[in-house]
Amino acid sequence: MPLGGFLAIFFLLLAAASGGALWYYSTHALAAVLSGAAYLFAVGKSLALAAFILAAVAIIFFIIARLLAAPLKRITRAMQAFADKGIRAPIRVPRLAPREVRELIGEFAKMSASVEAAQAHDKEVARVKSDFISTAAHQLRTPLTAVRWALEALSATPLSEDQRSLVENATAKSKDLVAIVGTLLDISLIESGKYKYQFAPLDLAALLENALADFIPLAGEHGVHLALAPGAAAPPVRADAERIKWVLNNLIENAIRYTPSGGSVTLSLAVAAGVAFLRVRDTGIGILPQDRGNIFERFFRGGNALSKESEGNGLGLYIARQIARDHGGDISFAANENGPGTTFTLALPVA
């Protein structure tokens, strides 16, 4: 109940009690000692006095409501604005407001300023980290590319079997390093808002069919059955085809790699309420409950994922979700209700 309503009820109860006391006094006490005109005069005086007292009490309650309820409402609105939009609005306090109300407003102002400073510090730290990653990646890309080219040139020369094995292994590792550097640059571009997209109508059904064909060889190597579930036709979405393909490929590759031999990965497409849902359902190792809150964090890999697959840098899902959100969508996941495994869902608004 609002403070003003509470005070109004309290005033009405006080008025009822005063009226009852006045009625009893007028009808019993005065009637016993006065009569006629004197009785009527005394009753009139009593009613006038009661009306004056009630009016004074009403004014006092109104002032109290203004001094208490109004500042509390301003504090509530300021807290809502700060929580929803991060706006730290000034709060006007009446001069006669109680000391406790003034202290409450002062403490809220200190708290909001502290939170704002912490957020600014976190943003600055994130910016410095992003700049460092971008600079380091740019500095590493050129020498790593030169090393890879040198190794590829060396592999074309006559070598012994042991030498060729070492060169081929080094070439593969150098390619992995170049790919990691490219991923770090992608993160830097995403976080700085400079990631470039080429938006155009995209047929999601065709995208799923192409992804199925692309990943059948990898699924066969891991002994995993890859299939596309039948679904209703979906209208096109406005998206960057290459970026969304990368996101879908990341989800499918993860599903295959973390599904034991003999398991299955199923792709599906559905549309509801103007949103297209691309789902990748696997019967794999699943995600541990303690890891679910961090699965989209940078460089995070679950404990069971590390034991199953040593390769990976923990950046794929982070980048995939950022791309999805840049398209007005999102990525979510849930444990399968029937059987083991996880279902990842890529949601995109239809065009």
Q: Is the pLDDT of residue 172 over 80?
A: yes
pLDDT recorded at residue 85: 74
Tokens describing residue 166:
């070492």
Give the least confident one: 153-157, 184-188, 251-255, 300-304. Answer: 300-304
67 and 81 in contact (C-beta within 8 Å)?
A: no
Q: What percent of the chain has pLDDT over 70?
A: 81
Residue of higher predicted confidence among 281 and 111 = 281
Query: Packing angle between helix 36-85 and helix 99-155, nearest 10 degrees?
Result: 10
Identify which of 249, 242, 258, 260 has the alpha carbon closest to the alpha carbon of residue 214. 249
Q: Looking at residue 35, what is its pLDDT?
A: 64
> Considering the entire predicted model, what is its pTM?
0.60
Of 133-137, 163-167, 222-226, 270-274, which has the strongest mean pLDDT?
222-226
Backbone angles phi, psi at 280, to 5 degrees: -120, 105
Task: Say what the pLDDT of residue 178 is.
Answer: 79
pLDDT in tens, 11-61: 667 666 766 666 666 666 655 566 667 666 766 776 777 777 777 777 777
Determine the distance from the C-alpha atom of residue 337 to the mean position of all C-alpha atoms in its chain, rounded to a whole number: 24
Query: For residue 72, which of 91, 95, 99 has the smallest C-alpha distance?
Result: 91
What is the full DSSP assignment across 186-247?
HHHHHHTT------EEE-HHHHHHHHHHHHHHHHHHTT-EEEE--------EEE-HHHHHHH
Instruction: Check residue 158 and report its DSSP letter.
Output: -
pLDDT of residue 87: 74
CA distances from residue 341 to 256, 274, 309, 331, 334 in whole angstroms, order as listed: 11, 28, 16, 17, 9
Q: What is the mean pLDDT of residues 330-338?
A: 91
pLDDT in tens, 69-127: 777 777 778 878 777 777 777 777 666 667 777 777 788 788 888 888 887 887 777 77
Mean of per-residue pLDDT scores for the chain: 80
pLDDT value for 23: 60
Mean pLDDT, rounded, for 150-177: 84
Compute φ and ψ for 242, nearest 5 degrees: -70, -40
What percent of the chain clears pLDDT 90, i.e. is strictly above it?
27
What CA–CA distances, in Å, run from 214 to 9, 82, 211, 246, 342?
Answer: 73, 48, 5, 12, 21
**Buried/exposed code over 202-237 (b: 16+ C-beta within 10 A; e: otherwise):** bebbebbeebbeebeeebeebebebeeeebeebeeb
How far, rounded to the nearest angstrom, does the alpha carbon of residue 139 sit from its chain's CA centroid?
A: 33
Using 50, 70 and 90 to split pLDDT, how confident is the model at 4? low
Give the phi and the psi of residue 202 in degrees, each rounded to 5. -130, 130
Is there a contact between 270 and 231 (Cβ–Cβ < 8 Å)?
A: yes
224-280 residue pLDDT tens: 999 999 876 778 899 999 999 999 999 999 999 999 999 999 999 999 888 999 999
CA–CA dist 1, 72 (Å, integer): 13
